[in-house]
């Protein structure tokens, strides 16, 4: 009896003498190849259209070669400069040489924009100097400073030294309301220029409130869906899914019509005398509008996971709890609700992650204080064309979401999540 | 079972309809004595589970009263009835441990913590599951879950325990074992049990009395012996145990014995149980083990010609399917004695039974 539990010393072999593990691998090889070849097209598509672009963009957040590419001489000189002593003649000579070429090649705008990102207000300094660069004569230090006194400021040169480094933490520093400097490393941005941390915090709070509201509104609906007779619950399900069949833009503009100060709700409130005509509520173009519209749009994403979990809870649990003496309320809280945790987790995480990156709705109804970080990312992508900063902001957002995901896994366990 | 002076549970003219068109339970009158083990037995759709659910409070009676301990409970919600219940799929709360499951009914009654602990341990000890107190239900086997469900229904000392096909999900051997265990727990605790099943052997094993349900009506309410030996109608005879049924017309009735002319033309005599008058149609029912082969005809015996169609060797007896009076589904259980081994298919012989063992019941076409 005891002997049979001792593992054999030699590896088990198949009938023809090859080790069993090897034989098994051979036998499964064909089916593995078939399975892999079925997945390859999708995998390749996802790689090309999703994974690689994301990594490329993320890479831009820490790598920007725009300055060094168009100013080879100056970059060489700046690299050897320590950033603390006065800029010498060699630096100025390199500057003039590069400006002449940049003017001719029409790349001066790009150089100026790049340095302007680092040190705002220097754009015209570059473009105006470049126009006169051809006529400048040595010694260049004096002649350049003569063109514009700003060239004597060491901060301009420090900014250029920073932009000449291709691999730079400066964009992440900016995204976190800081500045990366040559002499002091990271420093806090001036108080009146701090916007991003506040924006991140607001995004987080709005997402959390939207998630909370969705849970509050979605839970009873999901419960009804799971417990009502089939005919009624099907009708209810269609009503839940109806928003999915309507354009996001249409739904958002519908909210504008309802919530604006001359809109349906305010008109009703005035009609019934709840509020005076001259003190109508501002329900839209602020944070309230963002939260209301986003809650409505994201509600199905909370209801569906909740419903799929509730559907699997047999009614006999509630009956058992009641037969054991629990009041309906107590049975619901003690027996039913704990079993819906996987659905709450899945729905909550889904809504939160969708909300944290939401763009179109806050852009349309957010006004000033209803803007989210995604609107700022879009601004830097489309308006200011500072893609590196946009990438840095996106990188922080992504790592925040991953951090939350990790925390959720630790607290609730990702295996406990049920999406359908 | 002797009836106590006052019934503990009493259904009075109870009717139940779900759709307002058909009655699932038709005029149910049933008294259950304290300490009794009563089984509601019947095919699915016969209304037995509906009766149980009305008693538990999860369904409301469309008409009539249900009384518990002398007071009507129609308007009392389930959680105030104090009835223990074991469900078909056990309904153990999956997010609680065994101990928490058992403590649940005690905690909702605001029992002191130390008392809860004691009660849980003692009831677990009774079902021999104390070692599993910290397990989750999913980590238990079906039989173990069954015991916990039973313990949970008993832990708060209810006077009445309802069981809704609790053994349905277990394999045969475990089911038989659990039958004895439930029977012993009932005997030791003296609790009243109402048990619903469609398995007749389960009902016969455990019950004091069995109510056989069909079509929303109690067909017969009796103890297991009476039910098997003296079925009052052809449904009960068919549903409880095996029986051979023959159709015929009553020719005469004298001193409780009727003479019946079978549809095949043969004349047999049978105990008049459920026949009213001469000329009425009747179903004759005789148990396979009460028939014997190669017997002589006498005043107390009915004998018919038979031809063996099929023989199944079952060890202790031989199951012998024959053609008797035009019906080739007639079963005789022949005891496995040395003299009977010469049976062979195609042999023509005579099969007979005591007139008292053949019961003339209401006319009902066999299924």
pLDDT in tens, B156-199: 999 999 999 998 888 888 888 899 999 999 999 999 999 999 98
> How is residue A211 written in tokens?
């998630």
Cβ within 8 Å of A, B 51-70: 56-58
* Interface predicted TM-score of the whole assembly (ipTM), two decimals: 0.82
For B74, which DSSP code? T
Domain B9-234 CATH superfamily:
P-loop containing nucleotide triphosphate hydrolases (3.40.50.300)
Q: Token pair of A141, please?
A: 């230090």
Nearest CA in chain A to B156: A324
- Give the rounded percent of residues in chain B with a pLDDT score beyond 70: 96
**Contact assignment for A326 to B94 by CB distance below 8 Å:** no
Domain limits of chain B? 9-234, 235-361
Q: Which residues of A touch B78 (CB under 8 A)?
A: 319, 322-323
The count of other CB atoms within 10 Å of the CB of residue A271 is: 9
- pLDDT tens-digit map of B226-269: 999 999 888 999 898 888 989 999 998 888 888 999 988 888 88
Cβ–Cβ pairs < 8 A, chains A and B: 69
Among candidate residues A266, A288, A286, A285, the one with its CA nearest the CA of residue A277: A266
* Intrachain domains B9-234 and B235-361 with the same fold: no
Q: Is B241 on the interface with A (CB under 8 A)?
A: no
Could you give all domains of chain A from N- to C-terminal order, each with its CATH number?
Answer: 1-52 (no CATH), 67-164 (no CATH), 196-416 (1.10.3720.10)
Distance CA A281, CA A266 (A): 7
Low pLDDT (below 70) residues in chain A:
1-10, 416-420
Which pLDDT value is given to residue B62?
92
B256 contacts B272 by C-beta, under 8 angstroms: yes
Token readout for A280 is 């109508």
pLDDT of residue B6: 77
Determine contact, residues B249/B287, Cβ cutoff 8 Å: no
Distance in angstroms (rounded) separating the CA atoms of residues A375 and A380:
9
Residues A226, A228, A232, A234, Cα dihedral to 10°: 10
How many angstroms away from the CA of B236 is the closest CA of chain A? Answer: 31
A324 vs B: CB within 8 A: yes
The backbone region for B279, taken as left when phi is positive above 0, alpha when psi lies in -120 to 50, beta otherwise, is left
Picking from B83, B85, B104, B148 by the largest number of A CB atoms within 10 A of its own CB, the best residue to mutate is: B104
Distance, CA of B308 to CA of B324 (rounded, Å)? 9
Cα–Cα distance, B329 to B331 (Å, whole number): 6
Which tokens in the block code for residue A357? Answer: 């990156």
| Chain A environment of B79 (Cβ under 8 Å) | 322-328, 331
Q: Say which of B57, B79, B152 has its CB closest to residue A327.
A: B79
pLDDT at B67 over 90: yes
Interface check B105 vs A, CB under 8 A:
yes
Q: For chain B, say whether A79 makes contact (Cβ under 8 Å).
A: no
Question: CA-CA distances (angstroms) from residue A263 to A281, A282, A381, B135, B321?
Answer: 10, 10, 33, 58, 86
> What spatial distance separates the first Cα and last Cα of chain A, rounded to whole Å?
47
What does the block give as tokens for A279? 């003190």
Q: What pLDDT does residue A9 have?
A: 61
Q: Is there a contact between A322 and B91 if contact means CB atoms under 8 Å apart?
A: no
pLDDT tens per residue across span B317-346: 889 999 988 888 899 998 887 666 677 888
Query: What tokens does A275 get?
Result: 């509020």
Instruction: Check if the beta carbon of residue A256 is closer than 8 Å to that of residue A263.
Output: yes
- Give the one of B58, B89, B109 whose C-beta lies nearest to A325's C-beta: B109
CATH code at B235-361? 2.40.50.140
The reply to whether residue A322 touches residue B152, judged by beta carbons under 8 angstroms, is no
The shortest C-alpha distance from A233 to chain B (Å) reads 19
CB within 8 Å of A3: residues ≥ 6 apart: none
Alpha-carbon distance of B11 to B40, in angstroms, equals 13
Question: What span, in angstroms and rounded, lies between the C-alpha atoms of B249 and B363?
Answer: 9
Q: What is the CA radius of gyration of chain A?
A: 31
The whole-number pLDDT of residue A396 equals 93
Asked if A23 and A14 count as a contact pair (C-beta separation under 8 A), the reply is yes
Crossing angle of the two packed helices A196-227 and A341-356, in degrees rounded to 10: 140
Q: Collapsing DSSP states into helix, strand and coil, what is residue B159?
A: coil
Q: B91 vs A339: CB contact, 8 Å cut-off?
A: no
B337 or B16, which is more confident: B16
Q: Hey, what's the torsion of the CAs at B55, B186, B163, B64, to 10 degrees?
A: -20
3-state SS, residue B19: coil
């Amino acid at each position: 009896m005891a002997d049979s539990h001792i593992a054999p010393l030699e590896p088990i072999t198949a009938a023809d003498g090859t080790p069993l593990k090897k034989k098994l691998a051979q036998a499964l090889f064909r089916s593995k190849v078939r399975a892999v070849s079925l997945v390859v097209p999708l995998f390749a598509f996802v790689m090309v259209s999703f994974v690689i672009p994301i990594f490329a963009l993320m890479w831009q957040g820490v790598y920007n070669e725009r300055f060094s590419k168009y100013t080879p001489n100056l970059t060489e000189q700046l690299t050897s400069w320590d950033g603390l002593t006065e800029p010498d003649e060699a630096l100025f000579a390199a500057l003039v040489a590069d400006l002449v070429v940049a003017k001719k090649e029409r790349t001066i705008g790009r150089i100026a924009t790049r340095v302007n990102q680092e040190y705002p207000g220097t754009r015209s300094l570059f473009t105006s100097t470049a126009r006169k660069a051809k006529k400048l004569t040595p010694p260049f230090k004096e002649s350049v400073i003569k063109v514009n006194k700003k060239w004597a400021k060491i901060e301009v040169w420090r900014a250029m030294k920073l932009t000449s480094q291709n691999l730079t933490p400066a964009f992440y520093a900016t995204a976190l309301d800081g500045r990366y400097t040559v002499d002091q490393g990271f420093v806090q941005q001036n108080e009146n220029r701090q916007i991003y941390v506040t924006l991140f915090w607001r995004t987080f709070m709005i997402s959390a409130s939207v998630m909370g509201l969705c849970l509050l509104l979605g839970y009873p609906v999901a419960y009804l869906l799971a417990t009502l007779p089939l005919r009624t619950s099907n009708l209810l399900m269609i009503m839940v899914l109806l928003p999915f069949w309507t354009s996001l833009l249409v739904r958002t503009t519908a909210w504008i019509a309802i919530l604006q100060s001359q809109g349906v709700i305010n008109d009703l409130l005035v009609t019934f005398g709840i509020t005076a005509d001259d003190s109508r509520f501002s329900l839209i173009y602020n944070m309230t509008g963002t939260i209301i519209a986003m809650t409505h749009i994201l509600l199905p994403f909370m209801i569906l996971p909740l419903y799929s979990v509730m559907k699997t809870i047999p009614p006999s649990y509630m009956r058992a709890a009641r037969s054991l003496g629990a009041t309906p309320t107590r049975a619901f809280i003690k027996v039913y609700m704990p079993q819906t945790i996987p659905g709450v987790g899945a729905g909550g995480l889904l809504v939160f992650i969708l909300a944290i990156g939401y763009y179109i709705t806050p852009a349309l109804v957010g006004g000033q204080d209803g803007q989210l970080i995604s609107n700022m990312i879009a601004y830097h992508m489309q308006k200011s064309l500072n893609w590196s900063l946009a990438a840095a902001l996106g990188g922080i957002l992504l790592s925040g979401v991953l951090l939350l995901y990790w925390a959720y896994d630790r607290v609730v366990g990702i295996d406990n999540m049920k999406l359908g | 079972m002797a009836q106590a002076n006052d019934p503990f549970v009493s259904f009075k003219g109870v009717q139940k309809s779900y759709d307002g068109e058909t009655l699932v339970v038709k005029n149910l009158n049933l008294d259950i004595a304290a300490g009794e083990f009563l089984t509601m037995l019947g095919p699915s759709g016969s209304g037995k589970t509906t009766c149980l659910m009305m008693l538990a409070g999860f369904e409301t009676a469309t008409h009539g009263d249900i009384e518990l301990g002398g007071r009507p409970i129609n308007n009392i919600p389930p959680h105030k009835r104090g009835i223990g219940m074991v469900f078909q799929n056990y309904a153990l709360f999956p997010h609680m441990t065994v101990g928490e499951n058992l403590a649940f009914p005690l905690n909702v009654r605001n029992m002191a913590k130390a008392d809860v602990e004691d009660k849980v341990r003692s009831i677990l000890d009774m079902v021999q599951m104390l070692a599993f107190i910290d397990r989750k239900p999913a980590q238990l086997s079906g039989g173990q879950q069954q015991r916990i469900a039973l313990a949970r229904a008993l832990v708060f000392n209810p006077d009445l325990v309802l069981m809704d096909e609790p053994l349905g999900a277990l394999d045969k051997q475990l089911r038989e074992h659990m039958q004895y265990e439930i029977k012993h727990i009932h005997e030791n605790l003296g609790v009243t049990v109402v048990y619903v099943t469609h398995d007749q052997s389960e009902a016969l094993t455990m019950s004091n009395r069995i109510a056989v349900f069909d079509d929303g009506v109690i067909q017969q309410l009796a103890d297991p012996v009476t039910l098997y030996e003296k079925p009052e109608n052809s449904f009960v005879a068919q549903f409880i145990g095996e029986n051979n049924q023959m159709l015929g017309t009553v020719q005469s009735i004298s001193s409780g014995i009727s003479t019946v002319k079978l549809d095949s033309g043969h004349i047999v005599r049978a105990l008049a149980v459920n026949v009213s008058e001469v000329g009425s149609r009747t179903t004759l029912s005789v148990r396979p083990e009460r028939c014997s082969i190669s017997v002589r005809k006498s005043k107390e015996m009915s004998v018919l010609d038979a031809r063996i169609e099929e023989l199944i060797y079952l060890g202790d007896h031989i199951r012998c399917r024959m053609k008797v009076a035009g019906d080739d589904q007639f079963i005789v259980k022949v005891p496995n004695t040395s003299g009977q081994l010469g049976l062979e298919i195609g042999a023509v012989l005579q099969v007979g039974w005591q007139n008292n063992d053949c019961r003339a019941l209401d006319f009902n076409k066999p299924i």
